[in-house]
Amino acid sequence: MAQAAISEASIRAALIERLKATHVEIQDMSGGCGQAFTSLIVSAEFAGKNSLKRHRLVNAALKDEIAQIHAWSAKCQTPDEYAKEMAATGGNDKPPLEGTEDGKVAGVSG
C-alpha cells in the first residue's frame, strides 16, 4: 500500500486531531518536495511539560509522517505562551527559520 504524500495540510490536520492543537503553522522548507518542514504548534497538551517532553509528544503523534521526511523542527507552545509571544512580537506567528536561506533548506532547488 502506497503512503500518502506528506504536505503542510496533512501535518496540520494530524496535529490538530492528535494533539488537540489550537494553532498550527507549518512551512515546507524543501521547495515543495515535502522533505523538510518547520512548525509552530500551540496545544494545551504541552502544559506542565518541558521542551524535551513537548517534542517527544509531537514526534510520537507524527511518528508515521516524520519517518517519511528528511528534516523536521517544531516550536511547541501552550496557549498562554503563544498569547504572550503574540503580544510581545505584534502577531508574528511564523515558524522558526533558523538555518535556512529565504525559508528554504540550503542546497535544495525549488
- From the list 9, 13, 18, 19, the residue with the least C-alpha distance to 45 is 19
CATH 3.30.300.90 for domain 8-90? yes
Model pLDDT, residue 35: 85
The pLDDT tens digits along the chain (110 residues) read 456 678 899 999 999 999 999 999 999 888 767 789 999 999 999 999 999 999 999 999 999 999 999 899 999 999 999 999 988 887 766 655 555 565 555 554 44
Model pLDDT, residue 5: 79
Model pLDDT, residue 31: 76
Model pLDDT, residue 106: 56
Per-domain residue ranges of the chain: 8-90
